[in-house]
């Protein structure tokens, strides 16, 4: 890659305007071969990431694929249609040159040149995004929440979140693309959901509503336990085969029931926590086999949905000017209003 053009991060690229060019080095997270129904030409949907985030891009058949991995300035073109090529480059560092286009009124990134680079010079793990919250802080907040549980319920949670399971739980992402798709993402999301759910529960208890706070805590901490089997790092966030064909909700319920039975958790608590795992998406159309049927399940479901949507809001308005409206966010089916800058306070009520 030429050194004449400054390499940009994903965050900087998102801030570019139409027809502006860019180059950078990223982790190639996903490369999906496609065929155009219009002209029969191949193209690729591509996702790359770095420490600032990620972007999705198109690679048309006219793009150049160049191998620079041998170093010494040697260049040779490669054929992305060769058998096994996609598997060989996913999870590696690549250089790209591209341009910002507009498609149906939305920003579109097109990679015009893709460079296979020296993996020792550009180690893939350097481009994997991590939670912006220090791991030590997330761990402390997690264990503070767990410590509010009582008796055997607390002992059960301590038993679950130990050993190899805890080592994996604190590392893996909460998703591949939509939210918390980075190292420590599952731990961050779990802490945010449980803190929010517990705050809501405490508020309602003060108002006289009967709630079991232990179940809210346990449900919050366990609701996405299936993601330790559904997602992994390769080193980019990736979905496992069980995650693709079974999904994290049933995976989580199966793992939870096995742990609960081995521990000897009482059946009522096991039923209630299992119900929260199965119902935490809130609606069957969102992947919940059953709907929330208790106060505690309703609270955990609402907290999970809120954390997801707040994450989507932050991602959507990241490059939106204060006072502006974001591009259409397809996942949540809306545009978001960035009503003020990050330091502006909400107006006082009169």
Residue position matching structure tokens 């479901």: 301
Determine the pLDDT at residue 246: 95
CA angle 151, 154, 155 (to 5 degrees): 85
What whole-number distance in Å separates Cα of residue 245 and Cα of residue 239? Answer: 10
Determine the pLDDT at residue 340: 77
**pLDDT higher than 80, residue 71:** no
pLDDT band at 5, cuts 50/70/90? confident
The whole-number average pLDDT for the span 235-264 is 96
Structure tokens at 90: 């996913």
pLDDT band at 344, cuts 50/70/90? very low
Per-residue pLDDT of 158-171, as tens digits, reads 999 999 999 999 99
Per-residue pLDDT of 304-316, as tens digits, reads 999 999 999 998 8
pLDDT band at 75, cuts 50/70/90? confident
Q: Which pTM does this prediction carry?
A: 0.82
Compute φ and ψ for 62, nearest 5 degrees. Answer: -80, -5
Lowest mean pLDDT among 134-138, 206-210, 237-241, 315-319: 315-319
pLDDT band at 229, cuts 50/70/90? very high
Lowest mean pLDDT among 11-20, 63-72, 183-192: 63-72
pLDDT band at 70, cuts 50/70/90? confident
> How many residues are present in the chain?
350
User: DSSP states of 248-261 as a string?
Assistant: HHHHHHHHHHHHHH
Beta-carbon count within 10 A of 261 CB: 11
**pLDDT higher than 50, residue 349:** no
**pLDDT higher than 60, residue 338:** yes
The whole-number average pLDDT for the span 240-268 is 97
Determine the pLDDT at residue 106: 82
Asked whether 269 and 263 are in contact (CB, 8 A), the reply is no
pLDDT band at 350, cuts 50/70/90? very low
User: Phi/psi class of residue 290: alpha, beta or left (left: φ > 0; alpha: ψ in -120 to 50)?
Assistant: beta
Residue position matching structure tokens 């119902």: 279
Determine the pLDDT at residue 320: 86
Determine the pLDDT at residue 82: 92
Determine the pLDDT at residue 61: 95
Determine the pLDDT at residue 264: 98
Per-residue pLDDT of 193-202, as tens digits, reads 999 999 999 9
The whole-number average pLDDT for the span 326-347 is 78
Contacts of 283 (CB under 8 A, 6+ apart): 291
Determine the pLDDT at residue 330: 87
Contacts of 162 (CB under 8 A, 6+ apart): none
Determine the pLDDT at residue 230: 97
**pLDDT higher than 50, residue 343:** no
Determine the pLDDT at residue 73: 65
Asked whether 229 and 243 are in contact (CB, 8 A), the reply is yes
**pLDDT higher than 70, residue 2:** no
Q: Map out the domains of the chain with their CATH numbers.
A: 10-126 (2.40.50.140), 135-313 (1.10.3210)
Mean pLDDT, the chain, rounded, equals 93
The whole-number average pLDDT for the span 272-299 is 97
Cα-Cα-Cα-Cα torsion 231, 87, 42, 77, nearest 10 degrees, comes to: 140
**pLDDT higher than 90, residue 64:** yes
Structure tokens at 309: 């949507």
Compute φ and ψ for 261, nearest 5 degrees. Answer: -65, -40
Per-residue pLDDT of 86-106, as tens digits, reads 999 999 999 999 999 988 888
């Amino acid at each position: 890659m030429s050194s004449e053009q400054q390499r940009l991060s994903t965050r900087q690229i998102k801030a570019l305007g139409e027809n502006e060019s860019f180059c950078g080095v990223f982790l190639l997270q996903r490369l999906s071969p496609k065929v155009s129904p219009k002209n029969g030409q191949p193209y690729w949907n591509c996702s790359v990431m770095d420490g600032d985030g990620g972007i999705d891009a198109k690679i048309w058949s006219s793009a150049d694929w160049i191998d620079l991995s041998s170093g010494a300035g040697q260049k040779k073109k490669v054929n992305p249609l060769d058998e096994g090529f996609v598997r060989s480059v996913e999870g590696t560092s690549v250089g790209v040159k591209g341009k910002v286009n507009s498609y149906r009124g939305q920003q579109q990134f097109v990679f015009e040149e893709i460079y296979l680079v020296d993996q020792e010079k550009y180690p893939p793990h350097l481009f994997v995004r991590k939670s912006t919250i220090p791991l030590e802080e997330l761990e402390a907040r997690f264990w503070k929440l767990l410590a509010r549980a009582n008796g055997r319920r607390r002992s059960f949670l301590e038993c679950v979140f130990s050993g190899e399971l805890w080592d994996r739980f604190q590392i893996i992402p909460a998703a591949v693309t939509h939210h918390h798709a980075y190292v420590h993402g599952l731990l961050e999301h779990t802490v945010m959901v449980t803190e929010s759910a517990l705050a809501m529960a405490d508020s309602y208890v003060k108002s006289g509503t009967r709630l079991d706070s232990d179940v809210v805590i346990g449900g919050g901490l366990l609701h996405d336990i299936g993601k330790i089997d559904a997602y992994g790092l390769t080193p980019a966030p990736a979905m496992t085969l069980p995650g693709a064909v079974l999904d994290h909700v049933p995976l989580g319920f199966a793992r939870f029931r096995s742990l609960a039975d081995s521990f000897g958790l009482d059946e009522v608590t096991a039923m209630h926590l299992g119900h929260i795992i199965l119902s935490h998406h809130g609606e069957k159309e969102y992947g919940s086999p059953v709907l929330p049927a208790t106060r505690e399940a309703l609270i955990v479901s609402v907290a999970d949905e809120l954390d997801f949507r707040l994450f989507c809001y932050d991602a959507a308005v990241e490059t939106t000017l204060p006072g502006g409206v974001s591009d259409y966010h397809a996942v949540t089916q809306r545009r978001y209003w960035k009503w003020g800058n990050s330091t502006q306070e909400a107006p006082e009520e009169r």
